[in-house]
Amino acid sequence: MYNLPFFLELFEKKYTKIEWKRLTKSATNEHWTNKLRLECEEKSTLQNLAISNLGIGVTHPVWATVSSSVSDIRKAITKSRMLTGIYLLQAHRHRFNQAEVDPICPNCRTETEDLCHVLTICLLYMNIRIALYTPIKNFMLSIISETKWTTHFSNRDAICTLKVDCQNITNLGIIPNNPEILGKIENMSRIYCYEIHKKEIIHRDITLPWSTQLPIKTPITIFTTMCQLKLLQNFEMEQNEFPVRFGMDDPNTTWRHGKPDYTVVNNKYMREKSKNHQTGSLEKTVENLVKSWEMESTHKSDLKVVLTYIVTIVNP
């Protein structure tokens, strides 16, 4: 079964204890790895998993890159459920109860709620995508060219694959098989998936039961949601901007306690804000002006310079 040497061969070739242990371990791992991969290929729920990278004794990047903190382990558990196809969505519920359960996403009512829909297009998670998908894309663009990105990631399935198991991208030769690169992508995508999960839990807890919360799918609701999706697609790049705080890079600035870092604040703001103003609009200008005033008045030591700078922005 394990293709180990026949006993007559053992008499002819004298294996040392270490050689024999190494040989048996290698043969055993190879046998069960092949068996594992064959069985995984038959499971439709494992379509997002990089099956060719599975192996006995090989830790998947989801767990190889996670720390020992409770929060990180929770993120890894959620990511593993998505990776193995056991993250429960409407498409799964419908499969087991087709007569009573609607597979359409209860949040946006546009299409079947499967993993690809949740991670790439569902309107409920738009702010999370704006805040957390951009770092993943920017990191990928630092590795590959923009042309290569457009070629390989022009559809939702490819983007979903990148977020769920980036090893698939490595197997296609799009990015190098570098543990450091894979680890960074995995860390960012793990946070992304967990934030999606948290949003779904919060939304589910504050809404009505399934039987009463689903709106009637009338032509008006269909038209409204399709318009929202169209606006999202048209203005995604324009909305995908962190607040601009004027004067942050002025070399002559005297800071009270050192130059502030708004990375965490920006991410939280992008996730939780309820409005997305178009670039260049009056609303966007006012939004940036308020952020600039907060930064200037809180962190700069000379208030006169602050007031002069704000007036200059308003009346250039």
The answer to the question of residue 244 being in a domain is no
CA-closest candidate to residue 134, choices 241, 62, 275: 241
Domain boundary among 191, 206, 221: 206
Q: Are residues 133 and 164 in the same domain?
A: yes
The answer to the question of residue 222 being in a domain is no
Q: Are residues 27 and 83 in the same domain?
A: no
Cα–Cα distance measured from residue 257 to residue 299, given in angstroms and rounded to the nearest whole number:
7
Place of tokens 């969505």: 89
Residue 223 above 80 pLDDT? no
For the CA atoms of 41, 44, 46, 50, the dihedral, rounded to the nearest 10 degrees, stands at 50
The answer to the question of residue 285 being in a domain is yes
Q: How many domains does the chain have?
A: 3
The answer to the question of residue 218 being in a domain is no
Whole-number percent of the chain with pLDDT over 70: 82
The residues that bridge with 112 in the sheet, in sequence order, are 104
Token pair for residue 52? 């060719």
Token pair for residue 203? 């939304």
Q: Are residues 113 and 28 in the same domain?
A: no
**SS3 of 104, please?**
strand
Contact 57, 29 (CB under 8 A): yes
Domain boundary among 167, 187, 206: 206
Task: Read off the pLDDT band of 234 (50, 70, 90).
Answer: very low
E-strand spans in the chain?
none
Q: What is the pLDDT of residue 117?
A: 92
Q: What is the mean pLDDT of residues 161-172?
A: 90
Domain containing 202: what range?
62-206
**How big is the CA angle at 230 (ends 207 and 289), to the nearest 5 degrees?**
80
Domain boundary among 190, 206, 222: 206
Q: Are residues 172 and 69 in the same domain?
A: yes
Cα–Cα distance measured from residue 290 to residue 52, given in angstroms and rounded to the nearest whole number:
51
Q: What is the mean pLDDT of residues 234-256?
A: 66
Q: Are residues 188 and 289 in the same domain?
A: no
Q: What is the pLDDT of residue 229?
A: 53
Residue 297 above 60 pLDDT? yes
Residues 6+ apart with CB under 8 A from 265: none
Contact 296, 247 (CB under 8 A): yes
Q: What is the pLDDT of residue 304?
A: 54
Q: Are residues 274 and 179 in the same domain?
A: no
Contact 83, 48 (CB under 8 A): yes
Place of tokens 């998947």: 60
Whole-number percent of the chain with pLDDT over 90: 20
Contact 2, 27 (CB under 8 A): yes
For residue 33, count other CB atoms closer than 10 A to its CB.
15
Contact 56, 32 (CB under 8 A): yes
Cα–Cα distance measured from residue 43 to residue 96, given in angstroms and rounded to the nearest whole number:
16
Q: What is the mean pLDDT of residues 174-190?
A: 91
For residue 312, count other CB atoms closer than 10 A to its CB.
11
Q: What is the pLDDT of residue 241?
A: 63
The answer to the question of residue 250 being in a domain is no
More confident residue, 185 or 12: 185
**SS3 of 205, please?**
helix
CA-closest candidate to residue 137, choices 167, 114, 166: 166
Residue 184 above 90 pLDDT? yes
More confident residue, 308 or 76: 76
The answer to the question of residue 150 being in a domain is yes
Q: Are residues 144 and 272 in the same domain?
A: no
**How big is the CA angle at 279 (ends 275 and 281), to the nearest 5 degrees?**
80
Q: What is the mean pLDDT of residues 197-215?
A: 58
Q: What is the pLDDT of residue 48?
A: 86
More confident residue, 287 or 316: 287
pLDDT digits (tens, 9 = 90+) for 122-136: 888 988 888 999 899
Residue 74 above 70 pLDDT? yes
The answer to the question of residue 135 being in a domain is yes
Task: Read off the pLDDT band of 314 (50, 70, 90).
Answer: low
Residue 286 above 90 pLDDT? no
Mean pLDDT for all residues in the chain: 80
Q: Are residues 37 and 105 in the same domain?
A: no
Q: Are residues 273 and 301 in the same domain?
A: yes
Q: Are residues 28 and 76 in the same domain?
A: no
Q: Are residues 200 and 66 in the same domain?
A: yes
Q: Is the dihedral of CA 119, 123, 127, 131 positive or negative?
A: positive
Q: Are residues 198 and 274 in the same domain?
A: no
The answer to the question of residue 152 being in a domain is yes
Angstrom CA distances, 160 to 31, 185, 258, stand at 31, 13, 40
